Amino acid sequence: MTALGDRILGLGLMVLAVAYGWVAQQWPEPFGGAETVGPETFPTILAVVLVAGGIYLMIKPDPDAQWPLGKSTLELVVSLLVLVVYAMLLEPLGFIISTTLAVGTLSWRMGANPRSAFVTGLISALVVFVLFNYGLSLNLPAGLLEVN
Amino acid sequence: METLGFLMEGFAVALTPYNLMFALLGAFAGTLIGCMPGLGPANGVAILIPLAFTLGLPPETAMILLTSVYAGAMYGGRISSILLNIPGDEPAMMTCLDGYPMARKGRAADALAISAIASFSGGLIGTVGLIMLAPVLAKFALSFGPAEYFALFLLAFATLGGITGKNPMKTVIAATLGIMISTVGIDISTGTQRYTFGVLELYEGIDFILAIVGLFAISELLFFVESRMGRGREKVSVGKLTLSFRELVSTIPTQLRGGVLGFISGVLPGAGASLGSFISYTLEKQVLGKKGKFGEGDIRGVVAPEAGNNGASSGALVPMLTLGVPGSGTTAVLLAMLISLNITPGPLMFTQNADIVWGVIAALLIGNVLLLLLNIPLVGVFVRLLSVPPMYLLPIVTMVAFVGIYSISNSTFDLYFMVAFGVVGYFLRKLEIPVVPIILGLLLGPEMEKNLGHALVLSDGDWGILWASTLAKSFWLVAGLSLLLPYLVGPLLRRRMNAAMQENPVSD
């Protein structure tokens, strides 16, 4: 029974808390003189609480969770990449194309066969696009498919 | 009597065709959301918030929509419990115990029908309780000063983990992280830029809707990818309805007990719907003792937890509406909606936004009736949708979340932020840091700081004011106790819950 996860988290939180608290001390005194509660008071309290929390975790960590290894990690990274690329391509390629690709890839990676995955992607993209642009009159980017 | 008048006005708001339509829509969507494994009520409501926003719905309609979704999700949770033995959400856990055995015996249709009826009466009892209790509590809360509020917020965080929570320190850490995120942006009282690092998008702070959708929906997707549950599971077929009227009548006492107990545990901070259904079930088992066949498909074993969790879900709205302090994940998300609509939650809402409060309450009543009507004939539809495997469903849900966030601001920047929150949420959940306190921290952080400032201005800088009054003292005391109790009582309660669950799997 190792408990490395919580220890690392505790350390990370402590570093974060110290940095957060330190930044708060650098702010200039607000215009009109210092009050008991300035902009830095509340963050300072929070930093102290978080330092305490971090120390607690390092002293009394819970047993580690099961972390994904090998292939699962790869799948996770792929899914994340899909999400980021989806956000990137949403405007240039337009909603329908990018959504078909994103939903298709995700459901394919989650175990659907590629054809039905991309068909699902296309159908859901079309339905949502029509629903949003015509039903709710919100503009989703048409991108490459734009017709003027 | 005054209350009755307000309630009538509430009905006038909720019964307009426009609002009624959204209530129906919400109830339907909510049931769907509730019955999909891995898409709990908090998640569902979170995804719908951006949509309610971009549609430009008036505040009362938006709230009616989301409350109906909330109530619907509580109904829906039971469907997968009964048919798949997987609770759709946490409170539906106890329904598995007798619901699934009933389904295995070929009485799935009966179990679904009776649980819909039990949900209805639980929800009804809870809403009546809400109507009676909320105005009284709101009036009482008007006497709170800033120090009391500050203590109350602490109490809310301390109890959020619940007495069954595993590690209260992790709740504290999560809440602190949430509040820290809320301090990003320009300080309201002094105008100091805090943690903006010169990035223009950060000046107005981090939009909590982004954080909520990221922490819930995106991290959920990642969990599914990891566990590869994409294929869904086998389910029991529904069969014919054989429920007799006599059997229905015989469960009425159970429904009443379950509803009342559920309501009480919903109102109490930190108890919530899960405990509501647990207590109702255990009590029923004690009351009936050997007369029942609990665990082997006793119909009252389905009725009690369902009445309990729906009673609790209405009960949980009491602290949210009257104090602005939600006690559960889903009510926290509802609070987020209120804040984004520029409505200050708390006791003043009952006077300043009476139409919204009472409209929502009336919508809950109407929603319950709608849900009952929807659930009995349409159960087949929901069951069919239940067999859509998550590998198609979750990507689509994620896409809807993307669309919702994108259409708020039409900027891709927000999408990256949301994904980042999803990744953080995944790691935190892996490390058993709960995400609900983070969200509550984000929501309540600014209010907490404001009240701290006011209190210290009033006392001329004396920190003692924070625990000067008896009320504030008792808040601090309860907060302290709720952080300590899990160490003392928690293991015991959890062992009992586990014993009751026997070999049943628990999702999340």
The model's pLDDT over B414-425, given as tens digits with 9 standing for 90+, comes to 899 899 999 999
Question: How sure is the predictor about B49, in pLDDT bands with cuts at 50, 70 and 90?
Answer: confident
Other beta carbons less than 10 A from residue B464's beta carbon: 8
Does residue A4 carry a pLDDT above 60? yes
- As a whole number, mean pLDDT of residues B81-100 equals 76
Dihedral Cα B123, B129, B131, B134, nearest 10 deg = -120
SS3 B33: helix
Q: How many Å apart are CA B100 and CA B232, to the nearest integer? A: 17
Question: How sure is the predictor about B505, in pLDDT bands with cuts at 50, 70 and 90?
Answer: very low
B67 in Cβ contact with B96 (< 8 Å): no
Question: How sure is the predictor about A13, in pLDDT bands with cuts at 50, 70 and 90?
Answer: very high
User: Which of B144-158, B232-246, B439-453 bottoms out in mean pLDDT, i.e. has the lowest?
Assistant: B232-246
Residue of A nearest to B227 (CA): A72
Judge: B399–A128 Cβ closer than 8 Å, yes or no: yes
A145 part of contact set with chain B, CB < 8 Å: no
Does residue B357 carry a pLDDT above 60? yes
- The length of chain A is 148
Other beta carbons less than 10 A from residue B233's beta carbon: 15
* Touching B: A residues 11-40, CB under 8 Å: 13, 20, 23-24, 27-28, 30-31, 35-39
B436-484 pLDDT, tens digit per residue, is: 888 888 888 888 888 888 888 888 878 888 888 888 888 888 888 878 8
* Touching A: B residues 112-131, CB under 8 Å: none
- Predicted local distance difference test score (pLDDT) of residue B162: 61
Residue B506 domain flag: no
Does residue B506 carry a pLDDT above 50? no
φ/ψ of residue B186, rounded to 5: -80, 130
Interior angle at CA B412, CA B406 and CA B417, nearest 5: 90
Q: Give the one of A37, A75, A112 whose C-beta lies nearest to B225's C-beta.
A: A75
- As a whole number, mean pLDDT of residues A119-141 equals 83
Judge: B180–A35 Cβ closer than 8 Å, yes or no: no
Domain ranges of chain A: 4-59, 71-145
* Chain A interface test: which of B47, B171, B173 (most A C-beta within 10 Å): B173
- The ipTM (two decimal places) reads 0.89
A26-58 pLDDT, tens digit per residue, is: 887 766 656 667 788 888 999 999 999 999 988
Reference B41, options B269, B326, B346; nearest CA is B326
CA distance A136 to chain B (A): 7
Question: How sure is the predictor about A118, in pLDDT bands with cuts at 50, 70 and 90?
Answer: very high
* Chain B interface test: which of A107, A115, A127, A132 (most B C-beta within 10 Å): A107
Does residue A84 carry a pLDDT above 90? yes
- The length of chain B is 508
Written in H, E and C, the secondary structure of B148-215 is: HHHHHHHHHHHHHCCCCCCCHHHHHHHHHHHHHHHCCEECCCCCCEECCCCCHHHCCCCCHHHHHHHH
Give the CA distances from residue B487 to residues A23, B66, B153, B162, B483, in Å, rounded to whole numbers and listed in that order. Answer: 35, 36, 22, 11, 8
- Quote the tokens at residue B426: 């995944």
B318 in Cβ contact with B267 (< 8 Å): yes
- Predicted local distance difference test score (pLDDT) of residue B498: 67
Q: How many Å apart are CA B31 and CA B459, to the nearest integer? A: 50
B145 in Cβ contact with B458 (< 8 Å): yes
Q: Mark out the alpha helices in B85-107 (DSSP H runs).
A: 93-102
- Predicted local distance difference test score (pLDDT) of residue B494: 66
CA distance B467 to chain A (A): 17
B320-354 pLDDT, tens digit per residue, is: 888 888 877 788 888 888 888 888 878 888 888 88
Q: Is A116 exposed, middle or buried (0-12, 13-18, 19+ CB in 10 A)?
A: middle
Does residue B255 carry a pLDDT above 80? yes
User: Structurally, how many domains does chain B consist of?
Assistant: 1
CA distance A131 to chain B (A): 12
B280 in Cβ contact with B93 (< 8 Å): no
Q: What are the residues whose beta carbons fall under 8 Å from the beta carbon of B297, sequence distance 6 or more?
A: B98, B101, B102, B104, B105, B107
- Predicted local distance difference test score (pLDDT) of residue B373: 86
- As a whole number, mean pLDDT of residues B12-36 equals 85
Residue B508 domain flag: no
Q: Give the one of A76, A87, A95 whose C-beta lies nearest to B412's C-beta.
A: A87
Judge: B398–A87 Cβ closer than 8 Å, yes or no: no
- Predicted local distance difference test score (pLDDT) of residue B232: 52
CA distance A90 to chain B (A): 8
The Cα diameter of chain B in Å comes to 71
* Long-range contacts at A122-130 (CB < 8 A, ≥ 24 apart): A122/A96, A124/A99, A124/B396, A124/B399, A125/A95, A125/A96, A125/A99, A125/A100, A125/B399, A126/A96, A128/A95, A128/A99, A128/B399, A128/B400, A128/B403, A129/A95, A129/A96, A129/A99
- Predicted local distance difference test score (pLDDT) of residue A81: 93
B31 in Cβ contact with B380 (< 8 Å): no
Domain that holds residue B24: 2-501
- Predicted local distance difference test score (pLDDT) of residue B343: 83
- Predicted local distance difference test score (pLDDT) of residue B161: 65
Q: Give the one of B166, B194, B394 whose C-beta lies nearest to A110's C-beta.
A: B394
B118 in Cβ contact with B126 (< 8 Å): no
Instruction: Enumerate the residues of chain A whose CB falls inside 8 A of the CB of residue B412.
Output: 87-88, 90-91
Question: What rounded mean pLDDT belongs to chain B?
Answer: 81
What is the amino acid identity at position B8?
M
Other beta carbons less than 10 A from residue B389's beta carbon: 16
Judge: A111–B231 Cβ closer than 8 Å, yes or no: yes
- Quote the tokens at residue B198: 């010169």
What is the amino acid identity at position B203?
Y
**What are the percentages of helix, strand and coil residues in chain B, rounded to 5?**
75, 0, 20
Q: What are the residues whose beta carbons fall under 8 Å from the beta carbon of B399, sequence distance 6 or more?
A: A99, A102, A103, A124, A125, A128
B387-400 pLDDT, tens digit per residue, is: 777 788 888 888 88
Q: Percent of chain A, pLDDT > 70?
A: 89
Q: Which DSSP string corresponds to B12-28? A: HHHTSHHHHHHHHHHHH
B223 part of contact set with chain A, CB < 8 Å: no
Question: How sure is the predictor about B508, in pLDDT bands with cuts at 50, 70 and 90?
Answer: very low
Q: What is the DSSP letter of A65?
A: P
Instruction: Enumerate the residues of chain B whose CB falls inside 8 A of the CB of residue A37.
Output: 452-453, 456-457
Residue of B nearest to A120 (CA): B392
Q: How many Å apart are CA B227 and CA B209, to the nearest integer? A: 27
- Predicted local distance difference test score (pLDDT) of residue B500: 62
Question: How sure is the predictor about A100, in pLDDT bands with cuts at 50, 70 and 90?
Answer: very high
- Predicted local distance difference test score (pLDDT) of residue A86: 92
Q: How many Å apart are CA B184 and CA A62, to the nearest integer? A: 30
* Chain B interface test: which of A37, A45, A120, A134 (most B C-beta within 10 Å): A37
Does residue B106 carry a pLDDT above 50? yes
Dihedral Cα B465, B466, B468, B473, nearest 10 deg = 180
Question: How sure is the predictor about B310, in pLDDT bands with cuts at 50, 70 and 90?
Answer: confident
CA distance B249 to chain A (A): 45
Residue of B nearest to A38 (CA): B190
A56 part of contact set with chain B, CB < 8 Å: yes
- Predicted local distance difference test score (pLDDT) of residue B503: 44
Judge: B403–A72 Cβ closer than 8 Å, yes or no: no
B121 in Cβ contact with B248 (< 8 Å): no
B196 part of contact set with chain A, CB < 8 Å: no
Q: Percent of chain B, pLDDT > 70?
A: 89
A123 part of contact set with chain B, CB < 8 Å: no
Q: What are the residues whose beta carbons fall under 8 Å from the beta carbon of A87, sequence distance 6 or more?
A: B402, B412, B415, B416, B419
A86 part of contact set with chain B, CB < 8 Å: yes
Question: What rounded mean pLDDT belongs to chain A?
Answer: 84
- Quote the tokens at residue B208: 């909590």
Instruction: Enumerate the residues of chain B whose CB falls inside 8 A of the CB of residue A6.
Output: 431
Residue B418 domain flag: yes
Does residue B60 carry a pLDDT above 80? yes
